[in-house]
Amino acid sequence: MKELLFTGAGTALVTPFDQDGNILWEELEQLVEFQIENGIDSIIACGTTGEAATMTAEEHLKTIEFIIEKVRGRVPVIAGTGSNDTHFCVELSLEAKKLGADGLLLVTPYYNKTSQKGLEESFNYVADNVKMPCVLYNVPSRTGCNIQPTTYQKLSKNPYIVAVKEANGDTASVARTLALCGDQLAVYSGEDNQTLPIMALGGKGVISVFSNALPRQMHELSAAMLRGDLDSARKLNVEYLDLMDGFFMDVNPIPVKEALFRMGLISTNFCRMPLTTMTEGNQEKLTALLKKHSLL
Protein backbone atom coordinates (compact mmCIF):
# COMPACT_ATOMS: atom_id res chain seq x y z
CA MET A 1 0.00 0.00 0.00
CA LYS A 2 1.24 3.48 -0.86
CA GLU A 3 1.74 5.90 2.02
CA LEU A 4 -1.22 8.24 2.46
CA LEU A 5 -0.64 11.98 2.53
CA PHE A 6 -3.55 12.29 4.96
CA THR A 7 -6.83 10.76 5.96
CA GLY A 8 -9.88 12.80 6.89
CA ALA A 9 -10.59 16.39 5.88
CA GLY A 10 -8.26 18.65 3.94
CA THR A 11 -9.23 22.26 3.30
CA ALA A 12 -8.83 23.77 -0.14
CA LEU A 13 -7.91 27.10 1.41
CA VAL A 14 -9.20 30.42 0.09
CA THR A 15 -6.76 33.24 -0.64
CA PRO A 16 -7.92 36.52 0.94
CA PHE A 17 -7.49 39.63 -1.22
CA ASP A 18 -8.04 43.31 -0.58
CA GLN A 19 -10.26 45.38 -2.90
CA ASP A 20 -7.30 45.97 -5.22
CA GLY A 21 -6.60 42.24 -5.49
CA ASN A 22 -3.51 42.18 -3.27
CA ILE A 23 -3.02 39.12 -1.08
CA LEU A 24 -3.77 39.80 2.59
CA TRP A 25 -0.93 37.84 4.18
CA GLU A 26 -1.89 38.46 7.80
CA GLU A 27 -5.43 37.21 7.16
CA LEU A 28 -4.08 34.18 5.29
CA GLU A 29 -2.01 33.33 8.36
CA GLN A 30 -5.10 33.69 10.55
CA LEU A 31 -7.01 31.31 8.27
CA VAL A 32 -4.22 28.74 8.58
CA GLU A 33 -4.38 28.97 12.37
CA PHE A 34 -8.18 28.74 12.36
CA GLN A 35 -7.96 25.53 10.34
CA ILE A 36 -5.34 23.86 12.53
CA GLU A 37 -6.96 24.94 15.79
CA ASN A 38 -10.18 23.29 14.61
CA GLY A 39 -8.64 19.93 13.82
CA ILE A 40 -8.23 19.98 10.06
CA ASP A 41 -6.14 17.10 8.70
CA SER A 42 -4.45 18.81 5.75
CA ILE A 43 -4.28 22.15 3.95
CA ILE A 44 -4.32 22.51 0.19
CA ALA A 45 -2.61 25.66 -1.06
CA CYS A 46 -3.43 27.32 -4.38
CA GLY A 47 -6.20 25.09 -5.60
CA THR A 48 -9.37 26.20 -7.37
CA THR A 49 -10.73 27.67 -4.13
CA GLY A 50 -7.49 29.61 -3.66
CA GLU A 51 -7.98 31.26 -7.08
CA ALA A 52 -4.63 30.01 -8.33
CA ALA A 53 -5.81 30.48 -11.92
CA THR A 54 -5.54 34.27 -11.45
CA MET A 55 -2.10 34.22 -9.83
CA THR A 56 1.23 34.91 -11.46
CA ALA A 57 3.81 32.15 -11.05
CA GLU A 58 5.60 34.36 -8.49
CA GLU A 59 2.41 34.90 -6.46
CA HIS A 60 1.59 31.20 -6.72
CA LEU A 61 4.90 30.09 -5.27
CA LYS A 62 5.00 32.84 -2.66
CA THR A 63 1.56 31.76 -1.40
CA ILE A 64 2.62 28.10 -1.23
CA GLU A 65 5.80 29.07 0.61
CA PHE A 66 3.90 31.31 3.05
CA ILE A 67 1.37 28.59 3.92
CA ILE A 68 4.11 25.97 4.40
CA GLU A 69 5.99 28.35 6.72
CA LYS A 70 2.92 29.15 8.80
CA VAL A 71 1.77 25.51 9.06
CA ARG A 72 5.20 24.53 10.40
CA GLY A 73 4.71 20.83 9.77
CA ARG A 74 1.62 20.53 11.96
CA VAL A 75 -0.43 19.09 9.09
CA PRO A 76 0.53 18.11 5.54
CA VAL A 77 0.47 20.89 2.94
CA ILE A 78 -0.49 19.90 -0.59
CA ALA A 79 0.39 22.44 -3.28
CA GLY A 80 -1.82 22.97 -6.29
CA THR A 81 0.54 23.04 -9.24
CA GLY A 82 -1.54 21.58 -12.06
CA SER A 83 -1.65 23.23 -15.47
CA ASN A 84 -2.77 22.62 -19.02
CA ASP A 85 0.91 23.02 -19.96
CA THR A 86 2.63 19.87 -18.76
CA HIS A 87 6.15 21.30 -18.90
CA PHE A 88 5.12 24.37 -16.89
CA CYS A 89 3.42 22.03 -14.41
CA VAL A 90 6.74 20.24 -13.90
CA GLU A 91 8.58 23.55 -13.37
CA LEU A 92 6.04 24.80 -10.83
CA SER A 93 5.93 21.42 -9.09
CA LEU A 94 9.70 21.25 -8.71
CA GLU A 95 9.68 24.70 -7.12
CA ALA A 96 6.88 23.65 -4.73
CA LYS A 97 8.93 20.58 -3.81
CA LYS A 98 11.92 22.81 -2.99
CA LEU A 99 9.67 24.94 -0.78
CA GLY A 100 8.76 21.87 1.29
CA ALA A 101 5.32 20.85 0.05
CA ASP A 102 4.29 17.38 1.22
CA GLY A 103 2.44 16.62 -1.98
CA LEU A 104 1.05 18.08 -5.20
CA LEU A 105 -2.49 18.54 -6.47
CA LEU A 106 -2.54 18.13 -10.26
CA VAL A 107 -5.70 19.13 -12.10
CA THR A 108 -6.50 17.57 -15.46
CA PRO A 109 -5.51 19.73 -18.44
CA TYR A 110 -8.17 22.35 -19.16
CA TYR A 111 -9.19 24.10 -22.39
CA ASN A 112 -6.84 22.19 -24.67
CA LYS A 113 -7.93 19.02 -22.76
CA THR A 114 -6.54 15.67 -23.94
CA SER A 115 -7.40 12.01 -24.51
CA GLN A 116 -7.20 9.24 -21.91
CA LYS A 117 -3.85 8.32 -23.47
CA GLY A 118 -2.75 11.93 -23.10
CA LEU A 119 -3.82 11.99 -19.44
CA GLU A 120 -1.79 8.87 -18.77
CA GLU A 121 1.32 10.20 -20.49
CA SER A 122 1.06 13.70 -19.02
CA PHE A 123 0.50 12.67 -15.39
CA ASN A 124 3.21 10.02 -15.58
CA TYR A 125 5.60 12.59 -17.05
CA VAL A 126 4.98 15.00 -14.18
CA ALA A 127 5.22 12.32 -11.50
CA ASP A 128 8.39 10.79 -12.94
CA ASN A 129 10.12 14.16 -13.20
CA VAL A 130 9.06 15.58 -9.83
CA LYS A 131 9.32 12.35 -7.81
CA MET A 132 7.00 13.24 -4.94
CA PRO A 133 3.44 12.26 -3.93
CA CYS A 134 0.90 13.44 -6.49
CA VAL A 135 -2.87 13.75 -6.04
CA LEU A 136 -4.71 13.91 -9.35
CA TYR A 137 -7.68 16.29 -9.50
CA ASN A 138 -10.60 15.25 -11.67
CA VAL A 139 -13.16 18.06 -12.09
CA PRO A 140 -14.75 17.75 -15.53
CA SER A 141 -17.25 20.56 -14.90
CA ARG A 142 -14.32 22.99 -14.98
CA THR A 143 -11.90 21.28 -17.35
CA GLY A 144 -14.05 19.38 -19.85
CA CYS A 145 -11.82 16.36 -19.21
CA ASN A 146 -12.80 13.24 -17.22
CA ILE A 147 -10.42 10.52 -16.00
CA GLN A 148 -11.87 7.06 -16.61
CA PRO A 149 -11.51 4.24 -14.04
CA THR A 150 -9.32 2.19 -16.39
CA THR A 151 -7.01 5.20 -16.79
CA TYR A 152 -6.74 5.47 -13.00
CA GLN A 153 -5.81 1.80 -12.95
CA LYS A 154 -2.90 2.46 -15.30
CA LEU A 155 -1.81 5.60 -13.48
CA SER A 156 -1.94 3.87 -10.09
CA LYS A 157 1.05 1.77 -11.14
CA ASN A 158 3.21 4.90 -10.88
CA PRO A 159 4.74 4.94 -7.36
CA TYR A 160 4.39 8.73 -7.11
CA ILE A 161 0.70 8.88 -8.08
CA VAL A 162 -0.89 8.17 -4.73
CA ALA A 163 -4.42 9.59 -4.78
CA VAL A 164 -7.17 11.40 -6.63
CA LYS A 165 -9.47 14.25 -5.65
CA GLU A 166 -12.61 13.03 -7.42
CA ALA A 167 -15.17 15.66 -8.38
CA ASN A 168 -16.92 14.11 -11.35
CA GLY A 169 -20.15 13.56 -9.39
CA ASP A 170 -20.34 9.90 -10.38
CA THR A 171 -20.23 7.55 -7.39
CA ALA A 172 -20.54 4.50 -9.66
CA SER A 173 -17.33 5.59 -11.36
CA VAL A 174 -15.68 5.96 -7.94
CA ALA A 175 -16.73 2.42 -7.07
CA ARG A 176 -15.17 1.11 -10.28
CA THR A 177 -11.97 3.06 -9.64
CA LEU A 178 -11.64 1.64 -6.13
CA ALA A 179 -12.35 -1.88 -7.39
CA LEU A 180 -9.69 -1.58 -10.11
CA CYS A 181 -6.99 0.21 -8.10
CA GLY A 182 -7.38 -1.25 -4.61
CA ASP A 183 -4.86 0.20 -2.17
CA GLN A 184 -2.68 1.61 -4.97
CA LEU A 185 -4.79 4.77 -5.29
CA ALA A 186 -6.51 6.63 -2.45
CA VAL A 187 -9.70 8.49 -3.32
CA TYR A 188 -10.68 11.80 -1.70
CA SER A 189 -14.05 13.33 -2.37
CA GLY A 190 -13.74 16.59 -4.25
CA GLU A 191 -17.33 17.56 -3.49
CA ASP A 192 -18.46 18.13 0.08
CA ASN A 193 -21.90 16.62 -0.44
CA GLN A 194 -20.31 13.42 -1.81
CA THR A 195 -18.01 12.85 1.16
CA LEU A 196 -20.20 10.35 2.98
CA PRO A 197 -21.00 8.12 -0.04
CA ILE A 198 -17.45 8.18 -1.37
CA MET A 199 -16.00 7.29 2.03
CA ALA A 200 -18.62 4.56 2.40
CA LEU A 201 -17.21 3.08 -0.81
CA GLY A 202 -13.67 3.16 0.61
CA GLY A 203 -12.54 6.76 0.12
CA LYS A 204 -10.01 8.15 2.58
CA GLY A 205 -11.48 11.61 3.10
CA VAL A 206 -12.36 14.87 1.41
CA ILE A 207 -10.63 17.92 -0.02
CA SER A 208 -13.20 20.42 1.10
CA VAL A 209 -14.56 23.90 0.40
CA PHE A 210 -17.09 23.71 3.27
CA SER A 211 -14.28 23.28 5.81
CA ASN A 212 -13.00 26.79 5.12
CA ALA A 213 -15.92 27.91 7.30
CA LEU A 214 -16.51 24.78 9.42
CA PRO A 215 -13.29 22.75 9.64
CA ARG A 216 -14.23 21.02 12.89
CA GLN A 217 -17.49 19.70 11.51
CA MET A 218 -15.96 18.32 8.31
CA HIS A 219 -13.11 16.78 10.27
CA GLU A 220 -15.63 15.10 12.57
CA LEU A 221 -17.77 13.82 9.69
CA SER A 222 -14.80 12.25 7.91
CA ALA A 223 -13.32 10.93 11.17
CA ALA A 224 -16.64 9.24 11.95
CA MET A 225 -16.60 7.56 8.54
CA LEU A 226 -13.00 6.41 9.03
CA ARG A 227 -13.86 4.71 12.32
CA GLY A 228 -17.05 3.17 10.87
CA ASP A 229 -19.47 5.31 12.86
CA LEU A 230 -22.02 5.77 10.10
CA ASP A 231 -24.74 7.07 12.41
CA SER A 232 -22.62 10.02 13.59
CA ALA A 233 -21.44 10.78 10.06
CA ARG A 234 -24.97 10.60 8.71
CA LYS A 235 -26.22 12.95 11.41
CA LEU A 236 -23.57 15.56 10.55
CA ASN A 237 -24.21 15.12 6.85
CA VAL A 238 -27.94 15.71 7.26
CA GLU A 239 -27.36 18.71 9.51
CA TYR A 240 -24.96 20.52 7.17
CA LEU A 241 -25.93 19.31 3.69
CA ASP A 242 -27.86 22.50 2.93
CA LEU A 243 -24.82 24.62 3.76
CA MET A 244 -22.50 22.38 1.74
CA ASP A 245 -24.82 22.90 -1.23
CA GLY A 246 -25.21 26.59 -0.42
CA PHE A 247 -21.49 27.17 -0.82
CA PHE A 248 -21.96 26.18 -4.46
CA MET A 249 -25.00 28.33 -5.27
CA ASP A 250 -22.55 30.48 -7.23
CA VAL A 251 -19.13 29.75 -8.72
CA ASN A 252 -16.63 28.57 -6.09
CA PRO A 253 -15.11 30.32 -4.15
CA ILE A 254 -17.58 33.23 -4.35
CA PRO A 255 -20.10 31.91 -1.76
CA VAL A 256 -17.57 30.57 0.75
CA LYS A 257 -15.62 33.84 0.62
CA GLU A 258 -18.86 35.70 1.23
CA ALA A 259 -19.52 33.42 4.20
CA LEU A 260 -16.03 33.93 5.65
CA PHE A 261 -16.47 37.69 5.26
CA ARG A 262 -19.84 37.62 7.03
CA MET A 263 -18.35 35.47 9.80
CA GLY A 264 -15.53 37.98 10.34
CA LEU A 265 -12.76 35.59 9.29
CA ILE A 266 -11.66 37.78 6.36
CA SER A 267 -12.08 41.52 5.84
CA THR A 268 -13.38 41.48 2.24
CA ASN A 269 -15.36 39.16 -0.01
CA PHE A 270 -13.21 40.15 -3.00
CA CYS A 271 -12.52 37.60 -5.74
CA ARG A 272 -10.29 38.36 -8.69
CA MET A 273 -12.06 38.81 -12.01
CA PRO A 274 -13.66 37.19 -13.87
CA LEU A 275 -15.25 36.14 -10.56
CA THR A 276 -17.46 38.73 -8.94
CA THR A 277 -19.82 39.18 -5.99
CA MET A 278 -23.03 37.22 -5.52
CA THR A 279 -26.37 38.46 -6.72
CA GLU A 280 -28.63 40.08 -4.13
CA GLY A 281 -30.95 37.07 -4.22
CA ASN A 282 -28.15 34.61 -3.54
CA GLN A 283 -26.77 36.82 -0.78
CA GLU A 284 -30.15 36.64 0.93
CA LYS A 285 -30.21 32.84 0.60
CA LEU A 286 -26.70 32.53 1.99
CA THR A 287 -27.49 34.86 4.88
CA ALA A 288 -30.48 32.71 5.80
CA LEU A 289 -28.31 29.57 5.77
CA LEU A 290 -25.61 31.16 7.90
CA LYS A 291 -28.19 32.32 10.43
CA LYS A 292 -29.81 28.89 10.50
CA HIS A 293 -26.46 27.38 11.48
CA SER A 294 -25.73 30.14 14.05
CA LEU A 295 -22.75 31.44 12.06
CA LEU A 296 -24.01 35.02 12.14
Write b or e for each residue in 13-30: b if 16 or more Cβ atoms lie within 10 A of its Cβ, otherwise e.
bbbbbeeeeebbeebbbe
Mean of per-residue pLDDT scores for the chain: 97
Q: State yes or no: is 165 an active-site residue.
A: yes
* pLDDT score at 133: 98
The predicted model scores a pTM of: 0.97
Q: Is the pLDDT of residue 102 over 90?
A: yes
The C-alpha R_g of the chain, in whole angstroms, comes to 18
* pLDDT score at 240: 98
* pLDDT score at 64: 98
* pLDDT score at 39: 98
Q: In the structure, what pLDDT confidence band is assigned to residue 2 with cuts at 50, 70 and 90?
A: confident
Q: Is the pLDDT of residue 255 over 80?
A: yes
Query: Which of the residues 154, 165, 204, 257 is marked catalytic?
Result: 165
Domain ranges of the chain: 8-227
Q: In the structure, what pLDDT confidence band is assigned to residue 114 with cuts at 50, 70 and 90?
A: very high
Q: Is the pLDDT of residue 220 over 80?
A: yes
* pLDDT score at 227: 98
* pLDDT score at 165: 98
Q: What is the rounded CA–CA span in Å between residue 176 and residue 152?
A: 10
Q: In the structure, what pLDDT confidence band is assigned to residue 143 with cuts at 50, 70 and 90?
A: very high
189-215 pLDDT per residue, tens: 999 999 999 999 999 999 999 999 999
Q: Is the pLDDT of residue 153 over 80?
A: yes
Q: CA distances (Å), 7 to each of 127, 174, 185, 197, 225, in order?
A: 21, 17, 13, 16, 11
**Domain spanning 8-227 has what CATH number?**
3.20.20.70
Query: Which of the residues 137, 152, 160, 188 is marked catalytic?
Result: 137
Q: Is the pLDDT of residue 1 over 80?
A: no
| Strand residue runs (E) in the chain | 8-12, 42-45, 77-80, 103-107, 134-138, 161-166, 186-189, 205-208
- Which percentage of the chain shows pLDDT scores above 90? 99
Q: In the structure, what pLDDT confidence band is assigned to residue 251 with cuts at 50, 70 and 90?
A: very high
User: Any idea what the Cα angle at residue 269 is, between residues 245 and 43, rounded to 5°?
Assistant: 65
Q: State yes or no: is 117 an active-site residue.
A: no
